Structure 1
Amino acid sequence: MSATLYQNLNKGELTQLLDIAREAIRGHFSEQMPQAPQLDLYGKKLIEPGACFVTLKVDGQLQGCLGTTVAHSPLVLEVHNKARASAYQDRRFMPLVEEQLDSLTIEVSVLSKPKPLAVQSEQELLDYLATNKVGVILSDNHQQALFLPQVWESLPKPVDFIRQLKIKAGWNAVYWSPTMKIQTFDVNSIHGKYF
């Protein structure tokens, strides 16, 4: 994926991605076998390899969120596959059921390429995040966790954001290591109701 693909998507292209996510979920509840999107129906930018996350909420509560930071396949296929995975394969939640569809919202986030952030301490990281509300990936010793930039809405203080991210990775909230790797990224996102 080009580093700028996520910035170049216009409202119409993002709307197409949201429609793909809706159809991927809808296909699970129909009698026909769900079909992957036909690449020849989409513009060049949407069939380039792209990294994305699809986030599902029911009544405002998280119901599923899966994605990838590395572009492996055409963006339209990634969105389709991640929507289905978020609805039915996120192990943190029971699979989506038909009764939840009326209150379901879908958010598609297309990621920029993650960039390493060189900091010497956790305080340096917190200082950076005080003025840069970006997505963050922390990794150390085969453990890793990611928060999309949207998480800043519920965790607006950098110290809380990073503590919760460390807990998500399986570390304690005060864990820090000189070998900790930090990457940051931006997203271009769209959300809407299922119906």
Structure 2
Amino acid sequence: MSATSFQHLNKGELTQLLDIARDAIRGHFSDELILPPRLDLYGKKLLQPGASFVTLKVNGKLQGCLGTTLAHSPLVLDVHNKARASAYQDRRFMPLCEEQLDQLTIEVSVLSQPEVLSVDSEQALIAHLSNNKVGVILSDNHAQALFLPQVWEQIRQPAEFVRQLKIKAGWQGNYWSPTMTVKTFIVDSITGKYHY
């Protein structure tokens, strides 16, 4: 799905994905076995291959965020798997624990297919982003970093957005290369509190 052909999800579909993410996390703290969602319970759009990120915050602070840009399994399964991974496999954080659940918020983002943006310089990228608050993937050689569009809420200046993205990839803040690849994407997202 490119940004132009992106099939937007409605509120009901996004709410279903949020419930799937909650259930995936809840299963870790439950004696009952929580299985992946039954595919026959969902509509066509949620069964299409989809790419998602699940972001977890406790008291407003990041607690886990993992996802993929490649759609390779039904969206409902992708969200289930990314919710579990964000809660227990994001190496930047200790695994989610039961004491954190009262303050936990879950954000599910469904990504359009990233599209290559042809820019010949960092200045051209910054100029593009000043009018387009989209998600960005920078890659060069074997390093890559991604910011979801929601990062614009914290980093409002395009130049700083790009600088922080480069630092996330492990480069110096002033790094740029003629072989740098830039891809952009949009998302549909929903945020909700975790509740038992």
Q: After TM superposition, which residue ranges in structure 1, 4 or more long, deviate above 6 angstroms?
A: none
Q: In the TM superposition, what are the counterparts of 1:80-95 in structure 2 within 5 Å?
A: 80-95=80-95
Post-superposition CA distance 1:120-163 (Å, at most 9, x none): 10000000001100000000011100000000000000111111
Aligned partners of 1:144 and 1:2: how far apart in 2?
Answer: 20
| Pair 1:152 & 2:152 matched | yes
Report how many residues are paired. 195
Report what 1:19 is aligned to. 19
Q: In the TM superposition, what are the counterparts of 1:138-177 in structure 2 within 5 Å?
A: 138-177=138-177
Aligned partners of 2:3 and 2:117: how far apart in 1?
Answer: 16
Post-superposition CA distance 1:71-90 (Å, at most 9, x none): 01000000000000000000
Q: In the TM superposition, what are the counterparts of 1:1-195 in structure 2 within 5 Å?
A: 7-195=7-195
Q: Does structure 1 conserve the Cα–Cα contact (< 8 Å) formed by 2:89 and 2:95?
A: yes
Q: Which amino acid in structure 1 is aligned with residue 75 of structure 2? A: L
Give the TM-score taking structure 1 as reference length. 0.97
Q: Does structure 1 conserve the Cα–Cα contact (< 8 Å) formed by 2:2 and 2:115?
A: no
Give the TM-score taking structure 2 as reference length. 0.97
Give the secondary structure class of the aligned counterpart of 2:176. Answer: coil
Give the secondary structure class of the aligned counterpart of 1:178. Answer: coil
Aligned partners of 1:6 and 1:188: how far apart in 2?
Answer: 10
Q: Does structure 2 conserve the Cα–Cα contact (< 8 Å) formed by 1:69 and 1:113?
A: yes
Aligned partners of 1:102 and 1:86: how far apart in 2?
Answer: 17
Query: How many Å apart are 1:32 and its aligned residue?
Result: 1.7
Q: Which amino acid in structure 2 is aligned with residue 125 of structure 1? A: L
Q: Which amino acid in structure 2 is aligned with residue 39 of structure 1? A: L
Q: Which amino acid in structure 2 is aligned with residue 98 of structure 1? A: E
Q: CA RMSD in A?
A: 1.2
Note the residue ranges of structure 1 that are not aligned, 5 or more in a row: none
Query: How many Å apart are 1:34 and its aligned residue?
Result: 2.1
| Amino-acid identity (%) | 75
